[in-house]
Structure 1
Amino acid sequence: YFQSADGARNLDKWKLKVPILGGILQNLAVARFCRMLGTLLKNGVPILQSLRIAKDASGNVILAEAIGNAADNVSSGQSLAVPLRSSGQFSRDLIEMIAVGEEANNLENVLIGVADNLERRTSRRIDTGVRLLEPLLLLVMATIVTFVIVALLVPVMTMSKNA
């Protein structure tokens, strides 16, 4: 099912809605898109062609659809920030950065900077999550070991009491 277009779309929509993990996955996908688009623009590839290439770099069908729609609107003369804002898939900060980059004619450097920032922020969130998860896993392991010890000692105590 997830290999079909509808299945992949539903899976990616679900991934973006999962608490905590959804934000991390979205940040990583947007960072990939921004880095790819910024690199293509920096190397002189026209924006429409760059958008069509970079949309697949996101690795998320929902974001790729929004980027594809943005490419269609850009080809009709609209700025990139407007259709991305209307898609609702990108943060307000990212949209503002793109708008400023377009106005300053420095979009490629802005996109690469945004990608760096998103990657750093996401890396910190993952590190924090792992640090918070370690004590929780230790507690779970201690509980399991306690149950195993109790499960072994109760029959021994019962047998020694009966003997």
Structure 2
Amino acid sequence: AHGLMLAIAALLIGWVGWRWLRSPAGRAWWQNRALRLPVVGALLYKYELTLFTRSLGTLLGNGVPLLTALHIATETVGNANLRGPLATMGPQVKEGTRMVRAMENTRVFEPLAVNLVRVGEETGRIGPMMLELSSVLDREVETGIKRALTLLEPVLILLLGVLIAAIIVSILLGILSINDLAG
């Protein structure tokens, strides 16, 4: 009876947690926590910026006006914690702030990204520079994933070794306890 109640309570807690994570507040909480994870957070951060810069570069390269392109590119970012600061760029540019200054004000982009856009703005080639920046970020994400997988392999081997050792020890203890009963 207690096991059934425990199972029902676990299912109920799981269902409530799942529903909360699907709510806007729960999603924002999860996205914030995901960005703070040690290895995965940096990869997610750069991946989201890759989406933004690639979309912005493609839109600008196809003749979409800057303000419209900024708005559309911001919508491609799935993480609300990044979308908020990126959404401030459009109004700043509309008020006359230079694109590179608006990027700096978001505090989202690394100095390399800001410098690439600065060069693009000075040469009148923001679109191609955004595409170049997205390529750089994409390579960083790929490298990060490869490093994480390289580190994950030995950890998994160790975990499997410990699991197999625990199984062997439990079998041997069972055999020894049977011998104690017989003797």
Q: TM class by shorter-chain length? A: over 0.9
Q: Is the 8 A contact 1:34 1:111 kept in 2?
A: yes
Q: 1:53-111: per-residue Cα shift (whole Å, max 9, x none)?
A: 00011211122111211100001111112122122122121112111111111111111
Runs of 4+ in 1 over 4 A off after TM superposition: none
The one of 3, 7, 10 aligned to 2:29: 10
Structure 2 matches for 1:102-121, cutoff 5 A?
102-121=121-140
Which of these residues, 107, 112, 132, is aligned with residue 88 of structure 1?
107
**Secondary structure of the equivalent of 2:44?**
helix
SS of structure 1 residue aligned to 2:164: helix
CA distance 1:111–1:130, shift in 2 (3 Å): same
Does the alignment pair 1:69 with 2:102?
no
Flag the structure with larger Rg: 2
Moved more, 140-149 or 7-16: 7-16
Aligned residues: 163
Give 1:20 shift. 1.5
**Residues 66, 84 of structure 1: 8 Å contact kept:** no
In structure 2, do the counterparts of structure 1 residues 5 and 125 end up closer, same or farther at CA, with 3 Å as the change threshold?
same
TM score, norm. by length of structure 2: 0.83
- Provide the rounded CA distance (Å) in 2 between the counterparts of 1:6 and 1:85: 28
Query: For the Cα contact (< 8 Å) 1:48–1:71, is it kept in 2?
Result: yes
Tell me if the contact between 2:39 and 2:148 (Cα under 8 Å) persists in the aligned partners. no
Structure 2: gaps of 5 or more residues: 1-19
What's the counterpart of residue 125 of structure 1?
144
CA distance in 1, matches of 2:79, 2:142: 19
CA separation in 1, counterparts of 2:58 and 2:131?
7
Partner of 2:8: none
Is structure 2 residue 30 aligned with structure 1 residue 30?
A: no
SS at match of 2:78: coil
In structure 2, relative to structure 1, the CA distance for the partners of 1:156 and 1:4 (3 Å cut) is closer
Give, in angstroms, the shift of residue 154 of structure 1: 1.1
Give the root-mean-square deviation of aligned CA atoms.
1.5
Match of 1:47 among 61, 66, 90: 66
Asked if structure 2 preserves the Cα contact closer than 8 Å seen for 1:16 and 1:26, the reply is yes
TM-score relative to the length of structure 1: 0.93
1:144 matched to 2:131: no
CA distance in structure 2 between the partners assigned to 1:152 and 1:62 by the alignment: 50
- Tell whether the 8 Å contact from 1:38 to 1:112 is kept in structure 2 after alignment: yes
Q: Please say if residues 38 and 107 of structure 1, whose CA atoms lie closer than 8 Å, have aligned partners that are also in contact.
A: yes
Distance of 2:171 and 2:148 partners within structure 1: 35
Query: Using the alignment, how far apart are the partners of 2:170 and 2:138 within structure 1?
Result: 47
Deviation larger for 11-20 or 109-118: 11-20
